């Protein structure tokens, strides 16, 4: 940037110059102080230094050119307005220096109060305060303490020790018992602490204090806790903070002064009313520090009725103006009310829905806006049982919150034991190093799943999310010993039958029973609570907002379901079809043997026998699913497992054979099996013989499935149940693969359908990058595409779904290479681009091509917005995510300027 431009750049805004829509530039606090000023509310005068100044400072390590002069000019105006000069020995102006980023980051950044006090102006301050020496010296010691800690990194404990020592000498525990002399002595002690740690005297020049405080607030943008908070809240790292320089008003001038916080509605439940706390004779920091007990805000009516009425009037005005819950900080200085801050207040997920509904009733917002006031993450939170607040338990381990909710139960280590104990009516938590498809029954029987390995797309995580079951994965502090049926953690041993509690939102693991509450929102989705009849405000609000989302959205929402029970539940949750029925799960359990025989068949006869045995079983599976969906489309994916999942583990088999040989047993059969397993062993099974490749290698396998699907559809139709099957071919990378499968499938379909009124579509997954890049060709042979974004992410990035999350994602998140796991939320720039290309080129080749997505991303809020923008027809997600996808699809379809439900 040219020097000329830098000088002219406006870095400082008076409160009267800003407004609430300038949050990018002035931060939330600055923009709202400006708004209140312009509304005529009593805001202490001040000015805001912009986020752009912060960005420039952080980039170069020094204040940008021109900033110092602009601060001087605004300070001069402030001094003139107040009739006082900063740090004037006789009649000082004092200012606070406060951070304020675009998004609220409570307590993460710095504030310095009482800037302008020094050895001389402290005397002037006492005079201003009618000779109140105690107040003046207390203000000065607060400045040294805050300034020392914040600006010069003096360890805060040293100041705290010193004040504790002073109180002890007085035989008291209350700050208020320290008199002016005590505080004057404390200022001396504080100054010594300051110079011991900084090698300099406490700065006496008020402007130097101000500049250093501003720099410290800028720097606090990059404090470790702020960085961690931003990462968690997905706040971009480059926004920077604004700095507000505000004339000080004092809540600690005596009993007719005080400070408080107020909410225009209850931020916990959303209930209407006045909520807040008040603390007489105190500054805001005392409230936060919890040193003294506050009283409910209503008490203020008794203490100072005029100020209370005035505050209520402002609260009502602010709510009408912002059309939302506002939270407010205020101070009363010798009876006069000052508004120090307001913002659209943070709230719980439940309050977000309830308040949005109320505001519609009150005519302040319309339903489109209400959709923007809530989000899918909040809805998801409300759909799980939750641990009660303040339960007082200490976590013994923290893993990855892989599937949310609160689960409590007895520890079991095997699937069989889980089924057995659950059968006796026990709640169990299945604890495994990692799960595999054979654990399915145990997972179904359990309240929750806890693993010591794996990430958010590990088997345990994906399956648990699909079932709506709580799961903590990758809790690597757990040392699990399955044969001994126990694990150790934090020096304690937990054996089978001991109770643990797991929180699938935070990933925390507790020993013992943490108290939990069920979700009334799920009861509503399940049809157990009538939204018209209930007096549950949350359920009524959820119903209303969901109905509007459904009426508004363009995306259809389907579900990923492999069983009739899942399908039925998903329909209750609002699914409009099945977007992915993974057939490999139908080959487990007692059918595993048939599949093993099929894979290892020595000749066509053996193979055909297995297929013939599987056909009626598969047909019955599909009949059940078609019935459950009753006329809605059902996308059945032909089998796509890595082969090894159906064969005995190689190492175990080798050991068994060697042992049997040693004993001289007849092991001819086992040896043949071992040889076959060796032959089929793959180093990278996820990139091996799976999907369409398997279908092309094992003759008759896909044909059997196509026949079973079509026969089931014909059977249902005959019985008066409409079936709309869509056969989906997995892992296609070249149109020729699809054409080969299609030619065979069409023959079978024609033969089975005969004259009956059944239509079967044939389409493909797009989950191999090559398929996305040749989508135009592939569309010639496909009636629909469904994006398999799990594999597309795996293959597009070149990292294994099963391994990488635990291995290095933490580092990538830390470095900001990605803000969130690309397995969780679609990487719009890379993998999303493949989706966009395939959608465009597919539709160009075949207008009207049906497009959907069935990877895990189909239920992720941000990804739903992306798929909406790409123009897909539907998203498909696990049953439990269906309401989330409905809501987000509605939100994506409604564009309301300036809304942000963060
Ligand atoms: C996918 O890859 O996104 C997909 C849906 O298939 P699977 O997860 O079964 O590989
Ligand atoms: Mg896949």
**Residue 436 contacts residue 586 (beta carbons within 8 Å):** no
Q: Is ligand 1 within 6 A of the CB of residue 788?
A: yes
CA of 856, closest atom in ligand 1 = 3
Rounded CA-CA distance 457/856 in Å is 8
| Segment 680-684 long-range contacts (CB within 8 Å, at least 24 positions apart) | 680/599, 680/643, 680/644, 680/647, 681/644, 681/650, 682/642, 682/643, 682/644, 684/800
> According to the annotation, is 886 in a ligand binding site?
no
Q: What is the DSSP string of 196-234?
A: HHHSSPPP--HHHHHHHHHHHHHHHTTSHHHHHHHHHHT
Mean pLDDT score of the chain: 92
Share in percent of the chain as helix, strand, coil (round to 5): 50, 15, 35
- Contact in structure between 370 and 360 (CB atoms under 8 Å): yes
The protein residue whose alpha carbon is closest to atom 6 in ligand 1 is: 788
582 annotated to bind ligand: yes
How far apart are alpha carbons 395 and 838 in whole angstroms? Answer: 46
Instruction: Give residue 901's pLDDT.
Output: 40
Give the pLDDT band of residue 902 (cuts 50, 70, 90).
Answer: very low
Counting Cβ atoms within 10 Å, is residue 648 exposed (0-12), middle (13-18) or buried (19+)?
middle
Q: Residue 13: which H helix or E strand, with range?
A: strand 12-14
Question: In ligand 1, which atom is closest to the CA atom of 794?
Answer: 2
Tell me the sheet residues that pair with 634.
578, 725
Kindly report the protein residue whose alpha carbon is nearest to atom 10 of ligand 1.
Answer: 791
Partnered with residue 297 across adjacent β-strands are none
Give the per-residue pLDDT at 290: 55
Instruction: Establish whether residue 584 lines the binding site of ligand 1, counting it when its CB lies within 6 angstroms of any ligand atom.
Output: no
Cβ of 855 less than 6 Å from ligand 1: yes
Q: Please name the residue that has the structure tokens 């990278």.
A: 684
Ligand 1 mutation target, pool 788, 826, 872, most atoms within 8 A of CB: 788
Q: Cβ(582) to ligand 1 under 6 A?
A: yes
- Distance (angstroms) between ligand 1 centre and the Cα of 701 equals 20
800 C-beta closer than 6 A to ligand 1: no
DSSP alpha helix (H) spans, 591-667: 592-599, 604-629, 650-662
Tens digit of each residue's pLDDT (9 = 90 or more) over 333-365: 999 999 999 999 888 889 999 999 999 999 999
Above 60 in pLDDT, residue 393? yes
Q: How far is CA 511 from the centre of its chain?
A: 25
The most confident of the ranges 27-36, 466-475, 640-649 is 27-36
H helices of 362-457, where? 367-372, 376-382, 415-423, 440-445
Entry pTM: 0.81
Ligand 1 in reach of 842 Cβ (< 6 A): no
The answer to whether 457 and 857 are in contact (CB under 8 A) is no
Question: Is residue 854 annotated as a catalytic residue, yes or no?
Answer: yes
767 close to ligand 1 (CB < 6 Angstrom): yes
Tell me the best of 790, 853, 876, 877 to mutate to test the pocket of ligand 1, counting ligand atoms within 8 Å of each CB and taking the most.
790
Measured in Å, residue 766 CA sits from the centre of ligand 1 at 10
Q: How far is 771 from 764, CA to CA, in rounded Å? A: 10
- Neighbour tally for 530: CB within 10 Å: 10
Whether 791 has a binding-site annotation, put simply, is: yes
Cα 788 to averaged position of ligand 1 atoms, centre (Å) = 5
Burial of 847 (0-12, 13-18, 19+ CB in 10 A): exposed
Structure-token match 């914040």, residue found: 150
- Largest alpha-carbon pair distance within the chain? 106
657 Cα to the center of ligand 2, angstroms = 34
> pLDDT tens across 121-151, in order?
999 999 999 999 999 999 999 999 999 999 9
413-452: pLDDT as tens digits: 999 999 999 989 999 999 999 888 778 889 989 999 999 9
Indicate the DSSP class of residue 807. I
Mean pLDDT of the 803-815 span:
77
pLDDT digits 0-9 by tens, 61-120: 899 999 999 999 999 999 999 999 999 999 999 999 999 999 888 777 888 999 999 999
Instruction: Determine the atom of ligand 1 nearest the C-alpha atom of 855.
Output: 3
Look-up: residue for tokens 């040989």? 661
- Is the CB–ligand 1 distance for residue 859 below 6 Å? no
Q: What is the arithmetic mean of pLDDT over 234-248?
A: 93
What pLDDT, on the 0 to 100 scale, is given for residue 289? 58
Task: Please report, rounded to a whole number, the percentage of residues in the chain having pLDDT higher than 70.
Answer: 97
560 C-alpha vs ligand 1 centroid, how far in Å? 10
Residue 634: closest CA among 549, 717, 567: 567
Q: How far is the CA of 580 from the centre of ligand 1 (A)?
A: 9
Nearest alpha carbon to residue 129 among 337, 333, 282? 333
For residue 762, the surrounding DSSP H or E stretch is: strand 761-766
Report every protein residue that has its C-beta within 5 angstroms of ion ligand 2: 767, 788, 791
Chain centroid to Cα 401, Å, comes to: 10
Ligand-binding site membership of 670 (annotated): no
- Asked whether 450 and 500 are in contact (CB, 8 A), the reply is yes
* pLDDT confidence of residue 859: 96
Give the alpha-carbon dihedral of 126, 128, 132, 133, to 10 degrees.
0
The response to whether residue 635 sits with its C-beta less than 6 Å from ligand 1 reads: no
- Is there a binding annotation on residue 767? yes
How far apart are the C-alpha atoms of 557 and 574, rounded to whole Å? Answer: 8
Within 13 Å, how many C-alpha atoms sit on residue 394's CB side?
Answer: 3
Nearest ligand to the CA of 692 is: 2
Has residue 792 got a pLDDT over 50? yes
Q: Which residues of 677-702 are buried (b: 16+ CB within 10 A; e: fewer)?
A: beebeeeebebbbbbbbbbbebebbb
Token pair of 504 as six digits: 């699938």
- Over 70: is that where the pLDDT of 457 sits? no
Q: Residue 300: which H helix or E strand, with range?
A: helix 300-303
Which ligand number lies closest to the CA of residue 787?
A: 1
Q: Where are the beta strands (DSSP E) in 238-353?
A: 241-247, 258-265, 272-280, 295-296, 326-333, 336-344
Q: Are 522 and 538 in contact (CB under 8 A)?
A: no
Pick the catalytic residue from 74, 326, 372, 459.
Answer: 459
> Is the CB of residue 826 below 6 angstroms from any atom belonging to ligand 1?
no
What is the three-class DSSP state of 581?
strand
Would you place residue 590 in the very low, low, confident or very high pLDDT band (cuts 50, 70, 90)? confident
Three-class secondary structure of residue 818 per DSSP: coil
The per-residue pLDDT for range 257-312, each reduced to its tens digit, is: 999 989 999 888 898 888 888 999 888 777 655 556 788 999 999 999 999 999 99
Bridge-partner residues for 786, per DSSP? 765, 852
Task: Please report the pLDDT score of residue 221 as a whole number.
Answer: 94
Report whether 245 contacts 47 (CB < 8 A): yes
How much distance in Å is there from the Cα of 824 to the middle of ligand 1? 13
Q: What is the pLDDT of residues 634-680, one digit of tens each?
A: 999 999 987 777 888 888 889 989 998 889 888 888 888 888 888 88
Active-site residue, from 54, 326, 854, 877? 854
The CB of 791 under 6 Å from ligand 1? The reply is yes
Is it the case that residue 463 has pLDDT exceeding 80?
no
Residue 503, annotated as binding a ligand: no
Q: What are phi and psi of 409, to 5 degrees?
A: 180, 180
More confident residue, 745 or 175: 745
Cβ atoms of 516 and 406 within 8 Å: the answer is yes
Q: Rounded to whole angstroms, what are the CA distances from 526 to 228, 254, 546, 572, 660? A: 38, 57, 14, 6, 54
Q: Contact, 352 vs 359, CB < 8 A?
A: no
**pLDDT tens, residue by residue, 875-894:** 999 999 999 999 999 999 99
Query: What was the pLDDT predicted at 2?
Result: 45
Residue located nearest, by CA, to atom 4 of ligand 1: 788
- Cα–Cα distances in angstroms (integers) from residue 169 to residues 145, 165, 172, 185, 778, in the given order: 20, 6, 8, 12, 84
C-alpha 460 – ligand 1 centre gap (Å): 15
Q: Is 459 a catalytic residue?
A: yes
pLDDT of residue 248: 95
DSSP string, 444-496: HH-SEEEESS--TTSHHHHHHHHHT-EEEE--TT-EEETTTTEEEETTEEEET
Lookup: tokens for 553: 């959205």
Contact 304, 332 (CB under 8 A): yes
pLDDT tops 50 at residue 3: no
pLDDT at residue 733 greater than cutoff 50 = yes
- For residue 555, the Cα-to-chain-centroid distance in whole angstroms is 22
Could you tell me which residue, 599 or 832, shows the higher pLDDT?
832
Of all protein residues, whose CA lies closest to atom 8 belonging to ligand 1? 790
pLDDT in tens, 555-573: 999 999 999 999 999 999 9
């Amino acid at each position: 940037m040219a020097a000329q431009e830098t000088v002219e750049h406006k870095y400082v805004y008076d409160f009267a110059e800003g407004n609430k829509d300038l949050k990018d530039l002035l931060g939330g606090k600055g923009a709202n102080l400006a708004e209140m000023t312009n509304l005529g509310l009593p805001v202490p005068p001040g000015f805001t230094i912009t986020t752009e100044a912060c960005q420039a400072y952080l980039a170069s390590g020094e204040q940008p050119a021109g900033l110092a002069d602009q601060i001087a000019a605004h300070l001069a105006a402030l001094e003139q307005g107040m009739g006082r000069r900063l740090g004037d020995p006789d009649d000082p102006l004092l200012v606070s220096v406060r951070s304020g980023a675009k998004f609220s980051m409570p307590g993460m950044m710095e504030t310095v109060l009482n800037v302008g006090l020094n050895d001389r102006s402290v005397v002037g301050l006492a005079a201003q305060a009618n000779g109140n020496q105690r107040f003046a010296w207390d203000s000065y010691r607060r400045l040294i303490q805050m300034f020392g800690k914040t600006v010069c990194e003096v360890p805060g404990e040293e100041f705290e020790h010193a004040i504790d020592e002073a109180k002890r000498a007085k035989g008291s525990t209350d700050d208020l018992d320290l008199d002016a002399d005590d505080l004057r002595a404390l200022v001396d002690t504080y100054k010594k602490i300051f110079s011991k740690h900084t090698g300099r005297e406490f700065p006496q020049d008020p402007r130097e204090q101000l500049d250093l405080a501003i720099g410290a607030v800028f720097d606090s943008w990059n404090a470790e806790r702020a960085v961690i908070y931003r990462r968690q809240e997905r706040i971009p790292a480059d926004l920077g903070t604004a700095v507000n320089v505000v004339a000080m008003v004092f809540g600690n001038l005596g009993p007719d002064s005080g400070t408080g916080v107020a909410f225009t509605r209850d931020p916990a439940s959303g209930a209407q009313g006045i909520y807040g706390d008040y603390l007489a004779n105190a500054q805001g920091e005392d409230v936060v520090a919890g040193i003294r007990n506050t009283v409910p805000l209503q008490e203020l009516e008794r203490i100072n009725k005029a100020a209370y009425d005035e505050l209520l009037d402002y609260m009502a005005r602010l709510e009408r103006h912002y059309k939302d819950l506002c939270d407010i900080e205020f101070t009363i200085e010798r009876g006069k009310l000052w508004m120090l801050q307001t913002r659209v207040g943070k709230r719980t997920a439940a309050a977000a829905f309830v308040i949005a509904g109320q505001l519609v009733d009150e005519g302040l917002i319309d339903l489109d806006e209400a959709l923007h006031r809530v989000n899918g993450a909040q809805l998801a939170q409300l759909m799980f049982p939750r641990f009660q607040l303040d339960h007082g338990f200490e976590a013994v381990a923290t893993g990855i919150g892989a599937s949310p909710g609160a689960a409590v139960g007895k520890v079991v280590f095997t699937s069989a034991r889980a089924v057995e104990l659950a059968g006796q009516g026990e709640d169990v938590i299945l604890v495994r190093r990692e799960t595999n498809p054979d654990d399915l029954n145990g997972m179904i029987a359990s309240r929750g799943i806890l693993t010591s390995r794996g990430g958010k797309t590990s088997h345990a995580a994906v399956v648990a999310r699909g079932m709506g079951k709580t799961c903590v994965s990758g809790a690597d502090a757990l040392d699990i010993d399955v044969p001994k049926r126990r694990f150790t953690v934090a020096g304690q041993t937990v054996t089978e039958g001991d109770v643990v509690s797991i929180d699938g939102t935070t990933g925390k693991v507790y020993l013992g029973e943490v108290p939990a509450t069920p979700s009334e929102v799920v009861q509503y989705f399940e049809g157990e609570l009538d939204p018209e009849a209930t007096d549950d405000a949350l359920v009524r609000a959820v119903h209303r907002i969901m109905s509007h989302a459904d009426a508004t959205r363009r995306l259809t929402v389907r579900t990923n379901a492999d069983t009739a029970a899942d399908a039925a539940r998903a329909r209750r949750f609002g699914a409009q079809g099945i977007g992915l029925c993974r057939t490999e799960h139908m080959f487990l359990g007692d059918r595993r043997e048939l599949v093993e025989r099929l894979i290892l068949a020595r000749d066509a006869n053996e193979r055909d026998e297995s297929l013939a045995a599987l056909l009626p079983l598969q047909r019955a599976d599909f009949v059940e699913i078609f019935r459950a969906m009753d006329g809605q489309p059902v996308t059945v994916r032909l089998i796509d497992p890595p082969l090894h999942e159906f064969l005995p583990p190689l190492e175990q088999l080798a050991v068994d054979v060697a042992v049997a040989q040693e004993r001289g047993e007849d092991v001819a059969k086992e040896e043949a099996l071992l040889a076959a397993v060796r032959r089929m062993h793959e180093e990278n099974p996820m990139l091996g013989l799976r999907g369409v490749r398997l279908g092309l290698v094992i003759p008759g396998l896909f044909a059997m499935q196509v026949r079973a699907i079509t026969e089931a559809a014909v059977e249902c139709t005959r019985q008066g149940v409409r079936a709309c099957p869509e056969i989906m071919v997995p892992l296609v990378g070249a149109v020729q693969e699809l054409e080969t499968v299609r030619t065979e499938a069409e023959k079978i379909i024609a033969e089975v359908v005969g004259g009956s009124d059944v239509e079967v579509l044939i389409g493909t997954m797009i989950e191999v990058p090559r398929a996305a890049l040749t989508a135009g060709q592939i569309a010639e042979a496909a009636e629909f595409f469904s994006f398999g974004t799990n594999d597309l992410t795996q293959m597009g990035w070149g990292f294994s779904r099963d391994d990488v999350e635990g291995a290095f994602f933490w580092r990538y998140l830390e470095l900001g290479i990605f803000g969130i796991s690309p397995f969780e939320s679609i990487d719009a720039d890379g993998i999303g681009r493949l989706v966009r290309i395939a959608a465009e080129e597919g539709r160009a080749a075949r207008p009207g091509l049906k497009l959907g997505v069935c990877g895990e991303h189909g239920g992720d809020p941000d990804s739903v917005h992306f798929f909406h923008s790409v123009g897909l027809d539907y998203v498909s997600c696990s049953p439990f995510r269906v309401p989330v996808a409905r809501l987000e699809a509605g939100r994506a379809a409604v564009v309301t300027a300036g809304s942000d439900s963060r």
